Chains A and B, each alone.
Chain A
Amino acid sequence: MVKNTWISRTAARLDLPEDLISDLPRIEWIAMKTLKIENHKGLNHFSDSCIELHIASGILIIQGEILSVSTLTHDEVSIHGHIHSISLKG
């Protein structure tokens, strides 16, 4: 859900990706083993079976097995492991 409607409208008009001009998260899931998330707002919960990340529109829940965070910076996180599901809690 996009709160900044005028930003999304502008992005649509200018044919720009929304994640570039707004604070929306961008999620890349590569080969079921690597997950890259940009524009997160910090960790909420962390264990080897579940990682919860704050994002602009709620909490992103990643569930799986042997999960580990290979890189964690202020706006990007890279997660490795057997990822089973990704869900969003608004």
Chain B
Amino acid sequence: MAGYIATNNLGASFGGVQAIENITFEIPANKVTAIIGPSGCGKSTFLRCLTRMHELVPGARISGEVVWDGKNIYASEMDATEVRRGIGMVFQKPNPFPLMSVADNVSAGLRLAAGRMSKARIAEIVERSLKLAALWDEVRNKLHKPGGSLSGGQQQRLCIARALAVQPDVILMDEPCSALDPASTQKIEDTIDKLKKSYTFVIVTHNMQQAARVSDFSGFMLSQEMGEPGRMIEYGPTNKIFTTPERKETENYITGRFG
């Protein structure tokens, strides 16, 4: 299935410092998988490795495999832009293109990466993506205003709409709600819930309630000591991770004893 990702012994480092190590993990298709763990355990690095974003950092190294759609995305014949088109990403801080209008923000991926398209087709995809991201009603009259003029929560949903517009199989989200108020968070969680029938989501979050609310599967990451590379300690169905974790570390973290 196109939305299925598996990592095999994945490791990543920045300029000689190992950030994550030895991660073998499966992300089921059309489900929401949450990655939880204390700060600095390499959750974001792991997420960025899944769509070849980690390699953009100077001095970054990656080892192991990420298998998506039956192919290792780090194989030499794979094109990074194609991987990123199929595995989209939403970042912690909303990052709409400030000079582009709301509509142009949504269609940016189509216009700049895909082939030529008719204006009507683009308008149609813009509308559909904004509806999917639950933003259409709020911006239908401001499609020509700059993306930076929206509120923080709207900007983040605009970024989700922008990611949806290129029609990826997987959407990675790096703490998408950490800069947002509860109402906006609620809207984004509803969006994820609605979209998971047709998309695979991987969401990194600090918020344990959020992980429990939105995810079907959870992975707990931890770096044993400061400066040690992060590892995947335990993963499984969210229910099980949150009620009867097998590892002591997971239980300690879930119950709030550290982290």
A and B associate: no
